[in-house]
Chains A and B, each alone.
Chain A
């Protein structure tokens, strides 16, 4: 009985809609006309090539930068600060970053004023360049903090860290310098655990919609954006073509993943020869790490600093390096039309709260061996191309009359939010020593009392962090939200995206920042809540 009650919310609100969406996303497989239309699509080939190029280049660049930073800082005094830096980078919404970065490099942007000058903006093709270079830079910068935090936490795990410490000393006594030990001992053991996260980063990069709409190429756009335009079309045939396109993109990626697994194995073989070729005094790349790290931090700082300045600069004509005057008119405009902000905040709080409750109920009532179902479904929600899940969800919600309703909007936000909350919380929740609860029960505490007085305080940091992650994920949802809202509701990311293609730079910047501040606040509060009570 209790087991069933604990499962209820999670199954009803999340698992069933998600499974239904995935099922319906595959329906167009049998739609011959849609496939014919897809393969006739003039932007198909170029779009796929652009998607694969930008996603692959960004993933490779992010991985290389991450490994350079990690190699240079490992075992240095800065290493322990790295986690805070990458957490800050993770908390900043990528959509806001893309908007700010586009404003920075656009022909009329600050960069052009500094480098080109002149009376009118130069004929630069920077943001939205046809090769997708600006999209690649933005994606790379977004993924570096993510990969870095994975490397860091992978290396920080207790017994693994102790083992590596011993291996480090053993390798030095065998004649290897620090750089050689990083390459031959540490990095291989870290990379082994990074295979699936790297693939998820790659799938995200090749299928991203919101960032590509802001800063990606337009004529033609990446394939995910081609699909996106089809899904948003009023014409049913275009919708079907878009849904088939989402399946096609997923199949292409799946095929490439199979290929990449083979390539990975081959690379491992080649690496073995390198690992055993004998001692080398290679130093660590400190200068390169300092350079890459500084450029990353600077680009983040300049981008968000510029957003802040622009949001207070209603008039900032070219080629002035500083606005003519500062005023908060954009911010008062944003607050005067406060409903997107309110709606986003309410949706984020509601979906994060509901996800926390549902996931905690699952952990409290289900045995640990069932977690793989929960986590498998969560990874499907997060790892599959967003356009595929969203296309299925759109179909499902049309069928049950949920499009254009608040309930539908809430469920569309809950899908990724709960998945993230489950992934973030599973480790800490299951790692809690069960004997604390057993002791409390032996002291005659009831189940709720045990949870509230013993487990919740012990898990405070993890619960707060999971809540903050859920909240931030909800704040930046664009693809599913836009489809399900069906024009009846507007959330912050939708408004920010619409504005980013217009000319009101101050208002665009204000919206991008309004998207940034609540997640930042949530992560800061979670960080404070997670501090140990005693040191």
Chain B
């Protein structure tokens, strides 16, 4: 279940944002991509997720588990995402947010999986809570569990720790990386803070002319 990017490049109005590059992320591996804001990191994630639209101009191919994703709608790609904001649906409870992306099946099994995920996240008893009554860290954990319960084959993390305060960041990083490792799925993390990268992982940077190389 590897995520492989082949000769990807992105241009905007003739200007190169990301120069052609290739990358294979193995199951359970987290690759970190670093670059200043406006360098095209988020556009790259949108391209992989299938959401990059005009006026962006992209080439290359994304394969997941050796299957090309080109032309597939975002919802058909089986790629999970975490964003800078938790983006919990405000009209649903924490538990309903977790059920939202969970594949269809018997109600009892889905409920049990939801409760187990809450327990995993240290949020037992939070199922009926409205998102706005949760703290920032709690919301982030629900957002991660929601993404994982959709059983993605790969994950894209778009500066998910960016808006948390320093004390929360460290603990949430540990929480996220532990869960991703346990599920053995490939993961691309985009950030501008080197401290966000898991220790010992591969780190790439975006250069001034859009070239991507190992840091």
Contact = CB atoms under 8 A, between A and B. Distances in A.
A302 to B, nearest CB: 37
B126 interface: no
Contacts of B152: 173
Contacts, number: 89
Nearest to A188: B91
Of listed B49, B51, B91, residue having the most chain A CB within 10 A = B91
Contact of A175 (B51, B89, B110, B150): B150
Contact of B104 (A171, A188, A279): A279
A229 interface: no
B186 to A, nearest CB: 15
Interface string B100-115: 1111110000100000
A279 B100 CA distance: 7
Interface residues of B, number: 31
B76 A281 contact: yes
B38 interface: no
Nearest to B76: A281
A176 interface: yes
A219 interface: no
A279 B85 contact: no
A527 interface: no
A172 B74 contact: yes
Given A169-B81, A170-B83, A278 B89 contact: no
A175 B101 contact: yes
B89 A276 contact: no
Interface string B146-166: 110010100010000000000
Contacts of A332: none
A166 B101 contact: no
A189 B80 CA distance: 24
B100 A276 contact: yes
Interface string A495-524: 000000000000000000000000000000
Of listed A171, A175, A278, residue having the most chain B CB within 10 A = A175
Nearest to A192: B91
A173 B146 CA distance: 11
B147 to A, nearest CB: 7
A413 interface: no
A198 B177 CA distance: 48
A189 B74 contact: no
Given A163-B90, A169-B83, A279-B104, 19 more contacts: A169-B74, A173-B147, A173-B156, A174-B75, A174-B80, A177-B73, A177-B75, A185-B89, A188-B91, A272-B96, A275-B92, A275-B96, A276-B92, A276-B100, A277-B104, A278-B100, A279-B102, A280-B104, A281-B75
Interface pairs A-B: 5 shortest CB-CB: A174-B101, A278-B104, A276-B99, A173-B81, A172-B74
